């Protein structure tokens, strides 16, 4: 059974920005997000310490130089994509989001 995707406005904005500047990266990141529908906790995902997203444990998966920050609602079978960050961006801003 596949999961539904819930992509935040923040993540959608980042995808739109990438679409304007780097179509290849946009495609790679989008494919990685879509793959979370079938396998929401792939081998390369990592749990984030001290971070929850919409009440669920925060996870991270890398795609190239970008990190996809998300959470999984197992009960309702939903992958909630919160942010897409460049590896150079700081995680400090995430600690304040719930």
pTM greater than 0.85 (yes/no): yes
Q: In the chain, what are the domains? A: 4-90 (3.30.2310.20)
> In this predicted model, what pLDDT tens digit does every residue of 3-35 receive, in sequence order?
999 999 999 999 999 888 888 889 999 999 999
Q: Is the predicted pLDDT of residue 98 greater than 60, yes or no?
A: no
pLDDT of residue 96: 44
State the chain's mean pLDDT as an integer: 88
Q: Taking Cα atoms as reference points, which of 93, 91, 70 lies closest to residue 7?
A: 70
d(CA 3, CA 39): 8
């Amino acid at each position: 059974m596949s999961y539904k995707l819930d992509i935040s406005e923040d993540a959608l904005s980042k995808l739109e920005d990438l679409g304007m500047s780097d179509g290849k990266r946009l495609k790679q990141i989008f494919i990685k997000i879509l793959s979370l529908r079938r396998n929401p906790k792939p081998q390369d995902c990592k749990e984030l310490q001290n971070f929850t997203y919409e009440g669920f444990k925060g996870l991270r998966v890398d795609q190239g130089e970008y990190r996809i920050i998300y959470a999984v609602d197992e009960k309702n079978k939903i992958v909630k994509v919160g942010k897409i960050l460049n590896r150079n961006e700081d995680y400090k801003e995430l600690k304040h989001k719930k």
